[in-house]
Amino acid sequence: MTETVIDWERETRTGVAEAMLCEGKSAAQIAAILGDCGGRRLFLTRLGPEVRSSLPATIQDALDYDELSRTAVFGPAIAAARAGAGIVCAGTSDLQVAREAARTMAFHGYAAPIIADVGVAGLWRLMRRLDEVRGFSVLIAVAGMEGALFSVLAGLVEAPIIAVPRAVGYGVGADGHAALTTALATCTPGVVTVNIDNGFGAACAAIKILRASQRTPLADDAD
């Protein structure tokens, strides 16, 4: 038994399910919450390997764990049958957050491919994959350091861009604020942002956007 009250109705109400942020919770608290799930599926974020290995073995077995993204799925997997967001990364160290986003989408049944290492220092890397990138109706862009990718990308595509600034770099870039302010002060309209390193939140917003498209009454004069 636990004092935690999972908001099981959230998926019905908002389109995305409540997830458990494991950072700041003990293994005992996590185990208690999972023990109260009663057969329902739950997504876990920021589950460090050391906390995970302190969980009871039966619970560890019940988790589909991914160490790079520190995420886990409790309960059965479902097919990622719907077309999800495209996830664009500036560099190799952005992959862990990109994967958090991709796994969040998969938990909700969306396939979200990652287009890696297309940072603007070598613009040709983005340009040669532009057709692929333009195929998505929503894009999540993950970038640290100065985050210039957000602005460049938004000027090239029709899809809305959900920026995920990364706490990658050093000096003024170390904590992710340089990339965050780029996403906010961008000269290219059509960029929105979530918190630093919040791949989970970006995926939730992308899911809401994709779901919106199925609820939108078709406009008469849309091009």
Residues within window 37-96 making contact with a second copy, judged by CB under 8 A: 46, 81-83, 90-93, 95
CA–CA dist 174, 177 (Å, integer): 8
Q: How far is the CB of 63 from a second copy (least distance, A)?
A: 18
Q: How far is the CB of 136 from a second copy (least distance, A)?
A: 9
Q: Which of 187, 148, 153, 152 shows the shortest CA–CA distance to 165?
A: 148
Bridge partners, residue 103, by sequence? none
CB closer to a second copy out of 41 and 177: 177
% helix / strand / coil in the chain, to the nearest 5?
40, 15, 45
Element (H, E) at 27: helix 27-35
Q: How far is the CB of 191 from a second copy (least distance, A)?
A: 7
* Residue 97 structure tokens: 């957050």
Print the binding letters for residues 3-22 with a second copy: x by CB under 8 A, - otherwise: xxx-x-xx--xxxx-xx-x-
Q: How far is the CB of 133 from a second copy (least distance, A)?
A: 13
Footprint (CB under 8 A) of a second copy, residues 91-130: 91-93, 95, 109, 114, 116-125
Answer for the pair 173, 150: CB distance below 8 angstroms, yes or no: no
The reply to whether 1 sits near a second copy by the rule CB under 8 A is: no
* Residue 83 structure tokens: 């077309």
Print the binding letters for residues 182-211 with a second copy: x by CB under 8 A, - otherwise: xxxxxxxxxxxxxxxxx-xxx-xx--xxxx
CB closer to a second copy out of 106 and 205: 205
